[in-house]
């Protein structure tokens, strides 16, 4: 049998209904915030990601699906191509290529589509996954660099999560400084790492040399106490970055967007400057980040374009759907009991009992006296009922019913007057 490749999955009905619901809702919200859709290719030149996302990031150094695309004619060159691991680099490439900055206006662009990373698959982490993302980018004269943009993006995110009905998220916020102040912080980190490097994991030992900021991303438990003791970026922000961060926070307070500052959150991509953020959700287990994003004021120049500051985010749609499903499952009221009339003439008694229980607020369903007992029990299990209640001639006469717990298999007799409190417990 040929199966789907490791880390990829088929999305089937009824799950696809929820995916479509989410996409419909976010498109409505994007329209209200004056965002418009962009669709970029699923594969790009490898160089776009090594220059954009950063050579030393996990994404570029270990996770990309890259291949050498052979020339098919003498007029063609062979190329190194990569399935996009994220969409920001592609959007900024398109912004430069189509000179979208020429209008002098901000470009507010959103995308929904598959991304690819060769990560170790687990719940909430796939090799083909989907992102719902957005970018605001434009010349500085359009206000692309201003704190109001950061606040608006975070406000948009709360509206998106509200529209799909996600509850219980936490927003973590940080500033990672800029090209002006980060070198001093990197230097401080390097110096602090000299003495403790040997006690860290292999990846961190390498990062300590090449890109010390990445050490803060490390998830290895044994490394955490050492990382906690490293210098904090907040102490190294220059005046401009400090003011920007303070203004973003003040705007969030005005909009009543709750957040927590997390100084260790530097994010796994190299293009970030100033504001970075992540929303986590408790239902997601180890892969708790439902979305992430931040500002990237230097990315356009890094990719050979004119200065075009920007900020954006990407929601992991797979994770959003997982969190919504968990939330829905918790909200569903389970069927408490399946009332089974046993023998001819028992339907009226069963229906009457069901009516009493339903009036008491208990979700109940009823079988039919013509069904074999086995069929009624099978139906009860398929419906997910917790109890089966048998209504036969003897039970009606005695005013007490056989109640079977379908989960434990236990069976007891419960007097009619006791039945409602028994099921309510
Ligand atoms: P990212 O943090 O790498 O950022 O990914 C954003 C979100 O995509 C994550 O928070 C997570 O929900 C989801 N995600 C990432 N990898 C996987 C995976 N293997 N399986 C399932 N879900 C995953 C970016 O991609 C940036 N481009 C975001 C951005 C836009 N920054 C500025 N603009």
Distance 253 CA to ligand 1 centre (A): 26
User: Can you tell me which atom of ligand 1 is nearest the CA of 127?
Assistant: 19
Q: What is the pLDDT of residue 74?
A: 85
Alpha-helical regions (H) of 64-146: 88-97
DSSP 105: S
Residues 6+ positions from 209 with CB-CB distance below 8 Å: 190
End-to-end CA distance of the chain: 48
Which structure tokens are listed for 91?
């959007």
Give the DSSP H or E segment for 205.
helix 202-210
pLDDT tens, N- to C-terminus, the chain (425 residues) = 999 999 999 999 999 999 999 999 999 999 999 999 999 999 999 999 999 999 888 899 999 999 999 988 888 889 999 999 999 999 999 999 999 999 999 999 999 999 999 999 999 999 999 999 999 999 999 999 999 999 999 999 999 999 999 999 999 999 999 999 999 999 999 999 998 989 999 989 988 888 898 899 888 899 999 999 999 999 999 999 999 999 999 999 999 999 999 998 888 899 999 999 999 999 888 889 999 999 999 999 999 999 999 999 999 999 999 999 999 888 777 899 999 999 999 999 999 999 999 999 999 999 999 999 999 999 999 999 999 999 999 999 999 999 999 999 999 999 999 999 999 87
Strands 43-45 and 66-69: unpaired
Tell me how far apart the alpha carbons of residues 40 and 298 are, in angstroms, rounded to a whole number.
Answer: 21
Residue nearest to atom 16 of ligand 1 (CA): 125
Q: What is the pLDDT of residue 43?
A: 98
Distance 381 CA to ligand 1 centre (A): 40
Distance 399 CA to ligand 1 centre (A): 61
Q: Which of 44, 131, 133 to mutate to test the pocket of ligand 1 (most atoms within 8 A of CB)?
A: 131
Distance 314 CA to ligand 1 centre (A): 6
Give the DSSP H or E segment for 168.
none
Distance 315 CA to ligand 1 centre (A): 6
What residues flank ligand 1, with Cβ below 6 Å? 86-88, 117, 119, 124-126, 129, 131, 133, 135, 268-269, 289-294, 312-314, 316, 318-319
Residue nearest to atom 2 of ligand 1 (CA): 292
Distance 85 CA to ligand 1 centre (A): 9
Tell me how far apart the alpha carbons of residues 7 and 338 are, in angstroms, rounded to a whole number.
Answer: 40
Provide DSSP, 231-259.
PPGGGG--HHHHHHHHHHHHHHHHTT---
Residues 6+ positions from 58 with CB-CB distance below 8 Å: 217, 268
Residue nearest to atom 10 of ligand 1 (CA): 291
CB-CB contact of 316 with 18 (8 Å): no
Distance 330 CA to ligand 1 centre (A): 26
CB-CB contact of 337 with 326 (8 Å): no
Can you name the residues that pair with 129 across neighbouring β-strands? Answer: 115
Residue nearest to atom 4 of ligand 1 (CA): 292
C-alpha neighbours within 13 Å on the C-beta side of residue 321: 21
CB-CB contact of 269 with 59 (8 Å): yes
Q: What is the pLDDT of residue 56?
A: 83
Tell me how far apart the alpha carbons of residues 14 and 111 are, in angstroms, rounded to a whole number.
Answer: 24
Helices (H) and strands (E) in the chain, counts: 15, 16
Closest CA to 357 of 398, 403, 392: 403
Distance 268 CA to ligand 1 centre (A): 9
Residue nearest to atom 22 of ligand 1 (CA): 316
């Amino acid at each position: 049998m040929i199966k789907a490749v490791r880390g990829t999955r088929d999305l089937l009905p009824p799950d696809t209904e929820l995916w479509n619901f989410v996409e419909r809702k976010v498109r409505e919200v994007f329209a209200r915030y004056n965002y418009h859709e962009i669709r970029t290719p699923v594969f790009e030149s490898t160089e776009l990601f090594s220059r954009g996302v950063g050579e030393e990031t996990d994404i570029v150094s270990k996770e990309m699906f890259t291949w050498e695309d052979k020339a098919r004619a003498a007029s063609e060159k062979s190329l190194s191509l990569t399935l996009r691991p994220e969409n920001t680099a592609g959007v900024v490439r398109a912004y430069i290529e189509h000179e979208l900055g020429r209008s002098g206006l901000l470009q507010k662009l959103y995308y929904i589509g598959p991304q690819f990373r060769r990560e170790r698959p687990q719940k909430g982490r796939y090799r083909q996954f989907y992102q719902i993302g957005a970018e605001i980018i434009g010349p500085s004269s359009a206000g692309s660099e201003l704190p109001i943009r950061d606040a608006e993006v975070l406000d948009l995110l709360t509206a998106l999560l509200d529209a799909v009905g996600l509850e219980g998220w936490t927003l973590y916020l940080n500033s990672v400084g800029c090209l002006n102040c980060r070198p001093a912080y990197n230097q401080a980190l390097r110096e602090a790492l000299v003495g403790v490097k040997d006690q860290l994991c292999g990846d961190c030992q390498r990062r300590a040399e090449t890109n010390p900021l990445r050490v803060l991303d490390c998830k290895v438990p044994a490394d955490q106490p050492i990382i906690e003791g490293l210098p904090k970026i907040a102490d190294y922000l220059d005046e401009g970055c400090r003011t920007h961060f303070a203004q973003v926070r003040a705007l969030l307070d005005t909009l009543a967007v709750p957040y927590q500052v997390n100084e260790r959150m530097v994010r796994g991509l190299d293009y970030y400057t100033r504001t970075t953020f992540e929303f986590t959700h408790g239902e997601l287990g180890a892969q708790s980040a439902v979305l992430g994003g931040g500002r990237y004021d230097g990315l356009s120049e890094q990719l050979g374009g004119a200065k075009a500051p920007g900020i954006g985010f990407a929601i992991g749609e797979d994770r959003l759907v997982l969190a919504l499903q968990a939330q829905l499952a918790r909200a569903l009221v389970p069927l408490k009991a399946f009332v089974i009339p046993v023998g001819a003439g028992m339907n009226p008694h069963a229906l009457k009992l069901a009516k009493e229980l339903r009036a008491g607020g208990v979700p109940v369903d009823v079988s039919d006296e013509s069904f074999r007992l086995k069929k009624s029990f099978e139906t009860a299990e398929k419906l997910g009922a917790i109890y089966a209640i048998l209504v036969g001639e003897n039970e009606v006469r005695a005013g007490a019913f056989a109640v079977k717990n379908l989960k434990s298999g236990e069976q007891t007799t419960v007097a009619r007057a006791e039945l409602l409190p028994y099921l309510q417990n």
